[in-house]
Structure 1
Amino acid sequence: MSRSRPTPTGFGALLLAALLLAVAPSCARDARQAPVPAAEQTGERPPGNAVASAHALATEAGLQIMREGGNAFDAAIATSAVLSVVEPISSGLGGGGFFLLHDARSGRDVFIDARETAPASMDADRYRTADGGFDRDRAENGPWSAGIPGLPAAFVHIAERYGALPLAQSLAPAVRIAEEGFPVYARFARGYQARRAVMERYPGTRSVFLVDGRAPQEGDVFRQPELARTLRLLGERGFDGFYRGDVADKLIAGVNAEGGQWTAGDLAGYRVVEREPIRFRYHGWTVTTAPPPSSGGIAMAQMLQILEPWDLAALDETQRTHLVVESMRRAFRDRTFFLGDPDFVRIPQRTLLSRDYAAGLRATIHPARATPSDLLSGEATPLEDEETTHFSIVDAQGNRAGVTQTVNLLFGSGLVAPGTGVLLNNEMDDFALQPGVPNAFGVMGFEANAPQPGKRPLSSMTPTFLESDDRVAVLGTPGGSRIITMVLLGILGYDAGLDAQAVAALPRYHHQWTPDRISAESGTFSGATVAGLRALGHTVDLPGDRAAGGRGSSHVWGNLQTVLWNRRDGTLTGGSDPRNPVGEAKVEPVAN
């Protein structure tokens, strides 16, 4: 059954809708988001298993693995691996990701950092042109743009430490789909055309994506036998199936044949890192989210703690948006100067997460005037909706997984190492390769995010758990630097009482300190709100402005996937972003 996106008229309209739902009977819903009956519900465990992902095949793979006796962590491997097969536009074995996991038995939350690392040959000077400028092509395309992949190591680590099934069993759906193929969808075909000139530079990429010289077209069956073999070796041999031996040799040969400098030590030395998640309180919620090298958790804590004293629901749309934007502006300023890989730089995390610090930032917000970004202190010395993917899982035991993974830009570096089927990332662009020079998402960085061998570039990926006395939610989205603000708006939506599907459909807006402007999706704001924000001194960048000579925002952003367990009424629901027609949120009842 198809889902249409509701016409957005701002956050206030959805708040009103939530109030109306509280007093009116529900209309018929898509069966994929239907609540599970509470007949067997005790309040201690969810009544079933739920997966929300950006592709129906990945959602089904996660549910299949749980039917076979796996838990949410095995399902996370299966879902992630299938997304790596069917969404090369967004993620894959050649990229990395963050896995936020909750173990119901112990009550422990853990953050699995599978971010890519810079190879030993990393040197910022390699990204300079002969005249000293910045070599954007080398930063975004081909061998020098690629970091050492982390996703395969995450699969091994999670299967060994948290899963209930052998890794090969969890990878089996991905192996099958890679061998048998899947129908090319519109976003895949469109993305390939956007990156075609880069993709077809490389023989390994041409051999995977071209059939008799023809690019993938919507409706084609896309098969990847070499990727299936790589996945099978990973399942059989674990870490050594990817980071040592035949696959590793081919990855090194493929990168170096194009002028890169990878070594066997780069691959064999890769390790995932278990980190303590960031936790803070907002209203009645405990928010558990991503620590550095993600910038999302600290930024979100700052924004929500700045906003907490205001009753946002009582404000008109202009004033509410103004305050939210000012919180975004301040958090992104701090992101620029302070955040990076915590294994390489000292981050003032305690200060940045302090409520006193947030109160100080709040005091600098003028209630009736925008703060020009260049007036916020900053010292240089102390946009993408198709890239990246997210999925959310809750199992019947109460285990949870929120996972965001990526190859960075559309189809990553564009380089497939011959014989592997592995499309490599272009995450090196997420470093501050030149201080103060914006990356592909328009965000800047300085010393904290400067490149070094073995270092992980700063990320915006923000998988998040929300937990109150009666509700538990898992959410996240792709979207480059806008990931953080989309998750923020999702949290505000849940706090306002919206259901999972309404949260997934929320209209979106964003501010990232520099450039100093509010960007928004089509229809997010009413005309009166746009006028009101401009009267306060904000620059508002709307999709239609492009025709008038402005930069213009994208018409739609992100691909938010979320699952909500309501412990009070014993329901489990999923929300899949209606902007993405191939995504799916699906719930299956399980008797506890």
Structure 2
Amino acid sequence: MKTVRWALHAALSSVLLLSPLLSSNAQAAQAPDTATAARPPGAAIASAHALATDAGLEILRQGGNAFDAAVAVSSVLSVVEPISSGIGGGGFFLLHDAKTGQDHFIDAREIAPASATPEAYLKPDGSFDRDRAENGPWSAGIPGLPAGLVHLATNHGRLPLKASLAPAIRIAREGFPVYARFAKGYASRRDVMERYKGTRAVFLADGDAPEEGEILRQPDLARTLELLAEQGFDGFYRGPVAKKLLAGVKAEGGRWTAEELAGYRVRERAPLRFEYDGWQIVTSPPPSSGGIALAQMLQMLEPWDLAKLPQAERVHLTVEAMRRAYRDRTFFLGDPDFVKIPVRQLMSRDYAAGQRSTINPRKATPSDLLSGEQTPMEDDETTHFSIIDAEGNRVAATQTVNLLFGSGMVVPGTGVLLNNEMDDFALKPGTPNAFGVMGYAANAPKPGKRMLSSMTPTFMVSQDRVAVLGTPGGSRIITMVLLGILGYADGLDAQAVAALPRFHHQWMPDAIGIERDALPDDVVAALRAMGHTVNSPKEAPAGRRSSDAWGNLQTVEWDRRANVLRGGTDPRNPVGKAAVVNTSPAP
């Protein structure tokens, strides 16, 4: 078996944080070493907020399956994490149905309204209108997450939508304590958010901005979720909620139509799958860019015996694989309903071999020597959760509103905070988006088109183990999932995978980004000697320092030989929770 101990030994030596849940999120059951279990001994859920994890467990106790639990976890995250996701946004759900053995991918990504032409984002002088692209109604795509929840419950769940949405409705009405990341995120976006009447009504209801520890109640959002629970799709996309959404967008100068709302449709797509080092990887197809990029990077790296190389060379090779995959992301990937994508070619081993042949094992390849231009991405403020139930069903789900608190605009009377995913399109070719990066024709907006995403919910399946993983992190999502896959492939457990330090390269800008202390100083120096630019947070000037910690990886695993379930929650996020419980499999 190929190994990747190079990344993991160094990573583990630099992990400074350990989850307080580590001792409670693994449940062992004795089983023979010589056979694999047919079903898990219970269920495991990992999410970015304890209330969401608990909601999923509540639904499992009521007789729901992993898909019902996913509706509960997703909707509660929409209530307690408006900084990251919500029913005004969208997401991807990767599912495995244990009864049929089938994998499914639910695409509930937002779509562009007809009004969102490239010309709509230009100022009178022809320059790009950054404010319109990021804030308020013009920045928002038609939401997809409510339709995704309805589709998930109707086509894959066991319980009525009223049951699986009940925890979110209760928490929206009764409130939850504001946590530090929420309060800090609101403060950073306050000037934008308080432009809008509906946002002020929710977040300034007590007269001042949310503060850590105070209880935030969202009665309008509770009522919107009740209508979704009672009426399904029509409860959001038609009727009173739809009318309020249309009126609220219009009042702030935007243009949506009733036909666009009512015409939104979830897409079920075939997941991508490929082999790596004894594992079958099942992952996200376009409009996610993650699955294709993972296949390219892992297949480029597989022939090297990385464990025998010095750490700097190992990181160098991984970065060079990242560089090439992200270059292809720019030009080939978009919404497959609008763009012809050469999936088979990009994922082929022959293509990976050709890419590998251009890598100098001891010298960086300047990105401008690879034909092409810069690449788009989305924001860090996304969320992910992972579930395995006692029947062996599993869910990997990633959902988002894009920037911190999305567009900043809550539609009055609905509690719905709109996304600002339009900035994920290449609104003006060659013009940097909110993160200083660019896109081109494959990701240009068109009515009804889905914007390119980095969200990469993923399964790993080997003879002995099953893992479910994913993370937020903008364009870094893909490389964080890559490092997580390498961690599992080298034998780490779920919590160790969630805690791994991270490094990243996305082709343009031509630099390696690292978390604080992710790489030793001598390795950073060796990489620079090879020609790499390495951006280290601890070296950045005051006021220009990027985040010391990236992502919020949530993962669960089932060791089928020992019949053990484990959960891992990212220690960078103190309000996350991974939980494992014993449950009785349904007959």
| Alignment TM-score, normalising by the size of structure 2 | 0.95
Please give the alpha-carbon distance, in whole angstroms, between the structure 2 residues aligned to 1:238 and 1:396.
27
Is this contact kept in 2: 1:36–1:589, CA < 8 A? Answer: no
Residue identity over aligned pairs, in percent, reads 71
Q: Which of 528, 536, 542 is matched with 1:542 structurally?
A: 536
Q: CA deviation at 1:37?
A: 2.4
SS of the counterpart of 1:483?
Answer: helix
Q: Which of 486, 495, 498 is matched with 1:501 structurally?
A: 495
Q: CA deviation at 1:524?
A: 0.3
The alignment status of 1:53 with 2:47, answered yes or no, reads yes
Please give the alpha-carbon distance, in whole angstroms, between the structure 2 residues aligned to 1:438 and 1:556.
24
Is this contact kept in 1: 2:26–2:564, CA < 8 A? Answer: no
More deviation, 370-379/224-233: 370-379
1:4 paired residue number: none
Is this contact kept in 2: 1:441–1:481, CA < 8 A? Answer: no
Please give the alpha-carbon distance, in whole angstroms, between the structure 2 residues aligned to 1:213 and 1:175.
24
Q: CA deviation at 1:252?
A: 0.6
Is this contact kept in 2: 1:400–1:474, CA < 8 A? Answer: yes
Q: Which of 555, 567, 573 is matched with 2:566 structurally?
A: 573
Please give the alpha-carbon distance, in whole angstroms, between the structure 2 residues aligned to 1:502 and 1:291.
27
Q: CA deviation at 1:444?
A: 2.2
Which whole-Å deviations, capped at 9, do the CAs of 1:506-557 have from their partners, x for residues lacking one?
00011010000000100001010000000000000011232179x5432000
2:325 paired residue number: 331
SS of the counterpart of 2:445?
Answer: coil
Q: CA deviation at 1:212?
A: 3.8
SS of the counterpart of 1:345?
Answer: coil
The alignment status of 1:182 with 2:176, answered yes or no, reads yes
Please give the alpha-carbon distance, in whole angstroms, between the structure 2 residues aligned to 1:28 and 1:212.
33
Q: CA deviation at 1:399?
A: 0.2
Please give the alpha-carbon distance, in whole angstroms, between the structure 2 residues aligned to 1:533 and 1:89.
35
Is this contact kept in 2: 1:156–1:238, CA < 8 A? Answer: yes
Q: CA deviation at 1:42?
A: 6.8
Please give the alpha-carbon distance, in whole angstroms, between the structure 2 residues aligned to 1:35 and 1:535.
46
Structure 1 pair 481/28, CA: closer, same or farther in 2 (3 Å)? closer
Which whole-Å deviations, capped at 9, do the CAs of 1:30-56 have from their partners, x for residues lacking one?
343222324699701011011000000
Q: Which of 1, 10, 22 is matched with 1:13 structurally?
A: 10
Is this contact kept in 1: 2:378–2:453, CA < 8 A? Answer: no
1:34 paired residue number: 26
1:227 paired residue number: 221
RMSD: 2.0
Please give the alpha-carbon distance, in whole angstroms, between the structure 2 residues aligned to 1:15 and 1:359.
31
SS of the counterpart of 1:573?
Answer: strand
2:282 paired residue number: 288
Is this contact kept in 2: 1:443–1:481, CA < 8 A? Answer: no
Q: Which of 465, 476, 482 is matched with 1:482 structurally?
A: 476
2:151 paired residue number: 157
Alignment of structure 1 residues 229-308 onto 2, 5 Å: 229-308=223-302
Structure 1 pair 443/290, CA: closer, same or farther in 2 (3 Å)? farther
Which whole-Å deviations, capped at 9, do the CAs of 1:167-208 have from their partners, x for residues lacking one?
010000000000000000000000000000000000000000
Q: Which of 530, 548, 562 is matched with 2:524 structurally?
A: 530
SS of the counterpart of 1:32?
Answer: coil
SS of the counterpart of 2:546?
Answer: coil
Structure 1 pair 28/512, CA: closer, same or farther in 2 (3 Å)? closer
Which whole-Å deviations, capped at 9, do the CAs of 1:380-425 have from their partners, x for residues lacking one?
9xx8875000000000000000000000000000011000000000
Is this contact kept in 1: 2:426–2:440, CA < 8 A? Answer: yes
Q: Which of 106, 114, 120 is matched with 2:108 structurally?
A: 114
Structure 1 pair 255/319, CA: closer, same or farther in 2 (3 Å)? same
More deviation, 33-42/286-295: 33-42
Please give the alpha-carbon distance, in whole angstroms, between the structure 2 residues aligned to 1:28 and 1:177.
24
Structure 1 pair 253/564, CA: closer, same or farther in 2 (3 Å)? same
Which whole-Å deviations, capped at 9, do the CAs of 1:469-510 have from their partners, x for residues lacking one?
000000000000000000000001111111100000000011
The alignment status of 1:86 with 2:80, answered yes or no, reads yes
Is this contact kept in 2: 1:10–1:526, CA < 8 A? Answer: no
Which whole-Å deviations, capped at 9, do the CAs of 1:77-113 have from their partners, x for residues lacking one?
0000000000000000000000000000000001000
Please give the alpha-carbon distance, in whole angstroms, between the structure 1 residues aligned to 2:11 and 2:369.
34
Please give the alpha-carbon distance, in whole angstroms, between the structure 2 residues aligned to 1:540 and 1:384.
22
- Which AA in structure 1 matches 2:271? P
SS of the counterpart of 2:288?
Answer: coil
1:561 paired residue number: 554
SS of the counterpart of 2:282?
Answer: strand
- Which AA in structure 1 matches 2:513? S
Is this contact kept in 2: 1:392–1:403, CA < 8 A? Answer: yes
2:345 paired residue number: 351
2:3 paired residue number: none
- Matched residue count: 574
SS of the counterpart of 1:138?
Answer: helix
Is this contact kept in 1: 2:45–2:567, CA < 8 A? Answer: yes
- Which AA in structure 2 matches 1:247? V
Please give the alpha-carbon distance, in whole angstroms, between the structure 2 residues aligned to 1:521 and 1:447.
32
Please give the alpha-carbon distance, in whole angstroms, between the structure 2 residues aligned to 1:351 and 1:30.
42
Is this contact kept in 1: 2:29–2:562, CA < 8 A? Answer: no
- Which AA in structure 2 matches 1:287? I
Q: CA deviation at 1:211?
A: 2.8
Q: CA deviation at 1:314?
A: 2.3
Please give the alpha-carbon distance, in whole angstroms, between the structure 2 residues aligned to 1:548 and 1:58.
36
Q: CA deviation at 1:317?
A: 1.3
Q: CA deviation at 1:456?
A: 0.3
Is this contact kept in 2: 1:336–1:445, CA < 8 A? Answer: yes
Is this contact kept in 2: 1:385–1:557, CA < 8 A? Answer: no
Q: CA deviation at 1:441?
A: 3.3
Alignment of structure 1 residues 423-502 onto 2, 5 Å: 423-502=417-496
- Which AA in structure 2 matches 1:566? D
Please give the alpha-carbon distance, in whole angstroms, between the structure 2 residues aligned to 1:149 and 1:344.
19
Please give the alpha-carbon distance, in whole angstroms, between the structure 2 residues aligned to 1:397 and 1:580.
29
Please give the alpha-carbon distance, in whole angstroms, between the structure 1 residues aligned to 2:211 and 2:240.
32
Structure 1 pair 512/82, CA: closer, same or farther in 2 (3 Å)? same
SS of the counterpart of 1:129?
Answer: coil
Q: CA deviation at 1:10?
A: 6.2
The alignment status of 1:139 with 2:133, answered yes or no, reads yes
- Which AA in structure 1 matches 2:25? Q
Which whole-Å deviations, capped at 9, do the CAs of 1:306-353 have from their partners, x for residues lacking one?
001012222221011000000000000000111000000111111111
Which whole-Å deviations, capped at 9, do the CAs of 1:253-309 have from their partners, x for residues lacking one?
111100000010110000000000010000100000000000000011100010010
Is this contact kept in 2: 1:295–1:335, CA < 8 A? Answer: yes
Is this contact kept in 2: 1:89–1:386, CA < 8 A? Answer: no
Is this contact kept in 2: 1:504–1:562, CA < 8 A? Answer: yes
Query: Which residues of structure 2 form unaligned runs of 5+?
Result: 1-5
| Alignment TM-score, normalising by the size of structure 1 | 0.94
Alignment of structure 1 residues 383-394 onto 2, 5 Å: 387-394=381-388
Q: CA deviation at 1:17?
A: 11
- Which AA in structure 2 matches 1:246? P
Please give the alpha-carbon distance, in whole angstroms, between the structure 1 residues aligned to 2:68 and 2:372.
44
Structure 1 pair 349/587, CA: closer, same or farther in 2 (3 Å)? same
Is this contact kept in 1: 2:11–2:501, CA < 8 A? Answer: no
